[in-house]
Amino acid sequence: MPEASEAATRRKEKSGVQVSENLPSSPLLSIVQRAAQRNIQNGPAAKAKQAAHERDLLIAQRMQRARKGVKVLVCDDSGSMSDFVASKTKWEHMKLAVDDCLNTYPGIRILWFASRTGEVKSASEIPPPHGGTDLCAGLEHAAKFKPERTIVVSDGYPDDRRRALDAAARMTGRIDIVYCGNDGDSEAIDFMQELARSTGGTSVTWQDGVASLEGAVRKMLMIEAPGAIAL
């Protein structure tokens, strides 16, 4: 019977396995099909999609726990901020950025961190550059306010990368980064990008001489928060 012969020879791709459309099912064929489907579901693309979905859910939960409208600027005050960029130290550039933030967003919280951390009401209260880069302490201080937005201005790698990432994971809201260090320091830039990405934030590198640091911080603050994600 020609029609039966044609049906028996017709084949199609199903879950990556060639199967005949009219062949009787068999336990072996079912096992092969299920194995092929698992390979698709557990492949690199599927795993990447699942990881992105889980990250989006975590970010949505962070935003839900945050106090709406609360912004915190966390400023690196470590010894390296005394290095010069053009005619000013990075610390002086940072103080201009702090004054600009307070003028634009009067309710913003201003924190500094070095080997310890503190809060100030004006740029003039930030102590001269000193000590190490305890970013973890700065983030833990910021976490007390349950911020919706945390903007970190820093010029280098933290004293303890793992502690900083763990502190960020416990926070609310998103963390954005304005990196003001050497744009050739790939290790520091990679860390800052990882920190921002893991919290749904954005990371930018302030290019020496291209724009003012206060302009870079202001633009970061103006970026809209990501759209809400249904849980």
Structural domain containing residue 48: 25-65
What is the CATH number for 142?
Answer: 3.40.50.410
Final residue before a domain boundary, out of 65, 91, 119: 65
For residues 59 and 70, state if they share a domain. no
229 in a domain, yes or no?
no
For residues 29 and 104, state if they share a domain. no
For residues 29 and 131, state if they share a domain. no
Final residue before a domain boundary, out of 65, 94, 119: 65
pLDDT band at 229 (very low <50, low <70, confident <90, very high): very low
For residues 135 and 102, state if they share a domain. yes
Mean pLDDT lowest among 142-151, 177-186, 218-227: 218-227
pLDDT at 225 (0 to 100): 46
pLDDT at 149 (0 to 100): 95
Whole-angstrom Cα distance, residue 187 to residue 200?
A: 20
Domain count, the chain: 2
Q: What is the full DSSP assignment across 60-99?
A: HHHHHHSPTT-EEEEEE-SGGGGSEETTEEHHHHHHHHHH
